[in-house]
Amino acid sequence: MTKIKQWQMTELKKPFELKESEIESIKDDEALVKIAVCGVCHTDISFWWDGVPTKHEKPLTLGHEIAGEVIEGPANLIGKKVVIPAVLPCGECDLCKSGYGNICQHQLMPGNDFHGGFASHILVPHKYLCIAPDAVLKRFPLEHLAVIADAVTTPYQVLKKSELKAGDFCICIGAGGVGIYGALLGKIMGAKVLSLDIDDTKLDIAKENGIDMTLNIKDMSIKDVKKKVREIAKELGVSRYMWRILEMSGTSAGQELGYALLTHASTLSIVGFTMAKSEIRLSNLMAFDSKVIGTWGCRPELYDEVMELIGSGKLDIAPFVETFPMSGINEVFQNTLDHKYLKRSVLIPDFK
């Protein structure tokens, strides 16, 4: 019998409360993971503050960017350092068998369908646990790996779906959190990358880490942004067409800008989430023969590819992670809501 301590959302917009429960048994398809770290995602903010419905009723332990060590379960997993995919598909349905496991309608998401990672332990299906290779663990502590579960793998999947090629022009709207990883992955895939944001500090971080060009779009009209982006494209020597645009700010303004930047044979990928609606002219898709695609998390099968990028040294995750003790969860969530952090906030259990 294992006791679990967890910070739970009991009411909308109210402080998280520390609770304790017990796990009496573990099913054959489950593993018990001792949590080393859990990241704070804007999806968590949406559940807690915006009232986006969760599948599991309150009280609920949020958190889906989780890394830890397996302490109970199959013998081959005991002692393994793992990242828990944010989306755990069934692996058997039509969507899963067709390569769309990330939108499996039987999927389980920690911190949504069941109690998540702002806790001491978590009980999860073990089928898709991603074991951290030695090459990764030699470069980074387990506490840095939580971001793989969403902030890194989500833009990785959508970049692959966008059919990005070496030499393409990749425009990333939003340079923090998911946005910086999307920009870095675009560079790794050979694109010329432009990061757009309203925060110079975030843009400076992007530039310092090899992003080709940055642009602060605060107080700029969409018309002016489009003009400036065309100038940057010419300066970088990329095509006027076939742009790959990633909207990662999770704002209606970002979505409207992303759509406005579409040109012939371009692809707009919606990565950030917002409940707000946007007004767009769909006929642009017809006129430009362009497309808009979405992504929900990442298929677990792609996690090993991301681990390879990290283990080989191509992708550095450390500069964009900031750690906090989990006992400070209420302050961290409020500060995240108020956009006070430049890096991805991750919480390390400090239960007594």
What domains are defined for the chain? 2-150+298-348 (3.90.180.10), 153-294 (3.40.50.720)
pLDDT of 177 over the 90 cut? no
Place of tokens 């400070």: 328
Among residues of the chain, what percentage have pLDDT more than 70?
Answer: 100
Q: Tens of pLDDT along 28-67? A: 999 999 999 999 999 999 999 999 999 999 999 999 999 9
pLDDT of 333 over the 90 cut? yes
Are 175 and 214 in contact by the 8 Å Cβ rule? The answer is yes
In this prediction the pTM is 0.94
Are 284 and 259 in contact by the 8 Å Cβ rule? The answer is yes
What span, in angstroms and rounded, lies between the C-alpha atoms of 321 and 122?
A: 22
User: Would residue 23 be called left, alpha or beta, if left means φ above 0 and alpha means ψ between -120 and 50 degrees?
Assistant: beta
- pLDDT for res 275: 86
